[in-house]
Structure 1
């Protein structure tokens, strides 16, 4: 399983993480079935459905998975039902429904509808790299990220990590690469770039199918626009979109890497997962320690 998105956090220096304790905590905090009045539930999931495989470890890295089950109660359904109830009250009783009464009616309606709503299951994959002192999530969804941190704290009592912190604005560094036509030696520019205006309206321009560096891009940068994200390729490992918040999206792993993982596998779902994770985690460690952290002069904890 190769991650398509990377959101990277640093473990605080000296953080003592016991993989065997985390393995047990995953088993002790599984995702429970959602109740009739639960908005959602969140907990650990086995890596492979209907198995007892809760984690994998390789090269001082540990892979695990969290799941979220939530009721699918669209706001449009609630709004339509509420409007019907309010209209009936105003017609039958000949009076206007006030703001507080409407809020109370909405709360009662949600309580009633939630028990009948279908539920959806989503998941997030994570791994801890003790050697590189990193936590890597395969999501940039703020809600899933927040719940993952809460789950780690609930499982372990505390989880010492911090967001990546660059000494210079990532957007300005990427703009400098484009303006000077001078990306780091291990990188090649891709064919996408999104720019954003610094004015209040925050207008943006999306460039697609570019030449390595387009005069249209540099002209807008000279006029004060900033780089929101840029498509890049790292050696013969992967292509991706690098964002100004240091998240990495739309990753496409090189076929040679996937073939190597396939050859390393002994066959079967768990062996495939193990081989993929071993290769991916080492590649991400190399990418971060020897390249990414230096491009942006990231503080080390």
Structure 2
């Protein structure tokens, strides 16, 4: 259950937030199966399949899981059906099918085909840290993120949060780190880096299996390019790729943390998840204390 992505938001007005209210209301908004004409549904899911365990709490942190069920209607199928329908009309009626009529035909076909489409499920894990005033998502997918916010607001009536607000451009800070070879004391560079220029087409160069502080990288940066993402290691606990939008991908927690969580677990899926979550959330809380200093992230309140 260790998160592989970190997208962090800051909470506002946490004094009015009642975690017990959220815990009580989550089962009232479960993920349901798609109806015949639903494009998708979105709702809460138990942490473990076929269980009634909807949340886990640890040191003022609350673990949640939401899911999306969507009808998969391959565009190739719709396109083929549409082409057949258009060809039939043009042959039988001896006329060309215009753009507007073609669009209407497509809508009719989607309406007809959707009940026959198969459904697939995906999930998004998140947790709320009331001490650090954070919402942490194991996803950087914009669509899933938006649906999760809507679900939180539907469940609670309101859920005030804001994206991280850096006082200085993250891209310029990371670029400065590499040009000057001056990283914060707790950071080391990894072997992955992507840079881009400031032109309209945003040309990019990606370096892999190469020390980001090498002359190949810094030469381009000195010529005006900037860092878009950078592989980093924080202390001995966390490695990740940091993006210029302040999201973290390819997150890996150190094996010593995982071993410690294993030793803390009493055995069984739920106990393992509880132990993993306790250590992961504490590590991210500690990491965020350093993170907000690097990028001069302002407080949410």
* TM-score (normalised: structure 2): 0.98
Partner of 1:6: 6
Structure 1 CA distance for aligned equivalents of residues 14 and 265 of structure 2: 34
CA shift digits 1:5-51 (9 cap, x unpaired): 00000001444221111111111100111111100000000000000
Structure 2 CA distance for aligned equivalents of residues 24 and 78 of structure 1: 42
CA shift digits 1:69-124 (9 cap, x unpaired): 00011222211211111111112211010111111100000001100000010000
Structure 2 CA distance for aligned equivalents of residues 264 and 25 of structure 1: 30
Structure 1 counterpart SS, 2:182: coil
Partner of 1:202: 202
User: Where in structure 1 do 4 or more consecutive aligned residues deviate above 6 Å?
Assistant: none
Structure 1 CA distance for aligned equivalents of residues 100 and 248 of structure 2: 44
Partner of 1:227: 227
Structure 1 counterpart SS, 2:211: coil
The worse-fitting range, judged by mean Cα deviation, of 124-133 and 196-205 is 196-205
Structure 2 CA distance for aligned equivalents of residues 217 and 14 of structure 1: 43
Q: Give the CA deviation at 1:171.
A: 0.2
The worse-fitting range, judged by mean Cα deviation, of 25-34 and 267-276 is 25-34
Cα 1:112/1:15, change in 2 over 3 Å? farther
Checking the alignment, whether the CA contact within 8 Å between 2:192 and 2:211 is kept in structure 1 is no
Partner of 1:80: 80
Partner of 2:36: 36
Partner of 1:213: 213
1:125-204 matches, cutoff 5 A: 125-204=125-204
Partner of 2:292: 293
CA shift digits 1:45-65 (9 cap, x unpaired): 000000010000000000010
Q: Considering only aligned residues, what root-mean-square deviation do their CA atoms show, in Å?
A: 0.9
Cα 1:64/1:14, change in 2 over 3 Å? closer
Structure 1 counterpart SS, 2:116: coil
Structure 2 counterpart SS, 1:115: helix
Structure 2 counterpart SS, 1:96: coil
Structure 1 CA distance for aligned equivalents of residues 212 and 104 of structure 2: 58
Structure 2 CA distance for aligned equivalents of residues 264 and 94 of structure 1: 75
Structure 2 CA distance for aligned equivalents of residues 184 and 121 of structure 1: 41
Partner of 2:98: 98
Residue segments in structure 1 that go unaligned for 5+ positions in a row: none
Residue segments in structure 2 that go unaligned for 5+ positions in a row: none
Structure 1 counterpart SS, 2:16: coil
* TM-score (normalised: structure 1): 0.98
Checking the alignment, whether the CA contact within 8 Å between 1:46 and 1:65 is kept in structure 2 is yes
Structure 2 CA distance for aligned equivalents of residues 85 and 273 of structure 1: 52
The worse-fitting range, judged by mean Cα deviation, of 9-18 and 30-39 is 9-18
**Number of aligned residues:** 300
Partner of 1:107: 107
